């Protein structure tokens, strides 16, 4: 559904997106992760034909966005962080205005979408009277009007309270389950991404530093929490024995492939280092992300 090939975007001398290649297949919920200014919104802008790539190609639904924008975006819906509407008009009028830039849309279809997102009864009210949550629903409604196959959601939880975020998460899952949509989701909310996405890509300073399934993220490293009064001595010893890949935050070690927690316990106890606890710690997306974009606190022993 989405295919970016060696895409570069420069704003004057600053490179916002650097050689980005990305593929999102039909039926996926794909997450785009990255810090502020990592290039996520620029990449999404290029997918929607709002930002022109300096070089490379962007294909959406099999069409080049640069040269065949109308065809490429025919079955695409998008939501941005803090979606903007004509606040002085009603929700219904906003939906009419936006839908007519895709195709003629019947009143019945607009009503169907209004009902689906749960705005029934408030569709004739002026948008300026809407709460954040209602605006988010209206944003969702406008994306659903052209019966899209692909949804591009740029920080859809922005400005929502925890309840709103949970509602948005359920809605995204519902869209995927009930309508079979392919979804590209960009968000800072790592736990949301972890719960929703089947695959992710991580951008750091305009470059893609990871692309793969969430399951791969979790299995990528075997982290162990080590509770000992002398963590430094313990990691130095384990490093000398070549049993660990590295250590973090005075609490975690990453085991080499063939090393077990029993091996670690035996080595530490034999060396006389007090061991108060040791257990496998499943890596969260946040741990994985922070490790990707930040250097580890202690360097790995090259031996």
Partner 1 sequence: MFFAQLKNELWKLFGKKRTYIGFIMLLLAENGVSFALYKTHFSLQKRLLENNGYALDAYASALTAAFIVLAPIAPLLLPLYVALIGGDLVAKEAEDGTLRMMLCRPVSRVRLLVVKWCAGAVFSIVLVIALGILGILCARIWFPWGGMFVLEPEDHVFSVFTASEGFYRYSLATIFMLAEAFSIMGVAFMFSCFNVKPAAATVLALSLLLMDFICFHIPYFQDYQPWFFTYHTRVWVCMFWEHIPWWRVGSSLIVLAGLNLTFLVIGCAAFQVRDIKS
* SS3 (DSSP) at 22: strand
**45 binding partner 1? (CB under 8 A):** yes
**Of 31-39, 102-110, 162-170, 227-235, which part binds partner 1 (CB under 8 A)?**
102-110
For the chain, where are the E strands, in sequence order? 2-11, 14-24, 29-34, 55-60, 63-64, 76-79, 150-154, 182-186, 199-204, 207-213, 223-227, 244-248, 252-255, 277-281
| 8 A C-beta contact, residue 184 and residue 48 | no
Instruction: Out of 22, 41, 144, 190, point to the residue binding partner 1 (CB under 8 A).
Output: 41
**297 binding partner 1? (CB under 8 A):** no
Identify any residues that bridge with 213 across adjacent strands, giving them in sequence order. 199
**Of 27-35, 89-97, 188-196, 289-297, which part binds partner 1 (CB under 8 A)?**
89-97
Q: What is the DSSP letter of 9?
A: E
Minimum CB separation of residue 143 from partner 1 in Å reads 8
Minimum CB separation of residue 167 from partner 1 in Å reads 21
Instruction: Out of 102, 186, 187, 228, point to the residue binding partner 1 (CB under 8 A).
Output: 102
Alpha carbon 297 to its chain's center = 25
Minimum CB separation of residue 244 from partner 1 in Å reads 44
Task: In whole angstroms, give the CA distance from residue 261 to residue 263.
Answer: 5
Minimum CB separation of residue 1 from partner 1 in Å reads 15
Residues 6+ apart with CB under 8 A from 104: none
**Binding residues for partner 1 (CB under 8 A):** 11, 41-42, 45, 48-52, 69-74, 76-78, 80-86, 88-89, 93, 96-98, 100-104, 142-143, 146
């Amino acid at each position: 559904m989405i295919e970016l090939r060696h895409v570069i975007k420069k704003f004057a001398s600053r490179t916002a997106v650097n050689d980005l290649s990305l593929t999102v297949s039909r039926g996926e919920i794909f997450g785009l992760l990255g810090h502020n200014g990592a290039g996520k919104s620029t990449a999404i802008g290029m997918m929607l034909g709002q930002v022109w790539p300096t070089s490379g190609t962007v294909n959406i639904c099999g069409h080049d966005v640069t040269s065949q924008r109308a065809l490429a975006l025919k079955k695409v819906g998008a939501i941005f962080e803090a979606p903007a509407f004509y606040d002085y008009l009603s929700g219904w009028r906003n939906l009419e205005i936006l839908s007519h830039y895709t195709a003629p849309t019947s009143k019945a279809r607009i009503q169907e979408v209004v009902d689906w997102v749960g705005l029934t009864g408030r569709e004739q009210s002026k948008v300026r009277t809407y709460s954040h949550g209602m605006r988010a629903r209206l944003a969702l409604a406008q994306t659903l009007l052209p019966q899209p196959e692909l949804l591009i959601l740029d920080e859809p939880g922005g400005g929502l309270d925890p309840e709103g975020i949970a509602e948005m998460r359920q809605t995204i899952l519902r869209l995927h389950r009930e309508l079979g949509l392919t979804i590209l989701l960009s968000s800072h909310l790592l736990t949301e991404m972890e719960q929703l996405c089947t695959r992710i890509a991580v951008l750091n300073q305009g470059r893609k530093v990871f692309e793969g399934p969430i399951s791969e993220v979790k299995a990528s490293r075997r982290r162990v929490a080590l509770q000992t009064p002398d963590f430094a001595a313990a990691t130095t010893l384990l490093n000398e024995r070549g049993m660990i890949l590295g250590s973090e935050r005075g609490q975690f070690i990453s085991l080499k492939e063939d090393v077990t927690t029993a091996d670690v316990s035996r080595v530490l106890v034999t060396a006389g280092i007090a061991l108060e606890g040791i257990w496998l710690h499943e890596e969260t997306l946040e741990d994985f992300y922070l490790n990707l974009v930040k250097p580890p606190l202690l360097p790995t022993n090259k031996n």
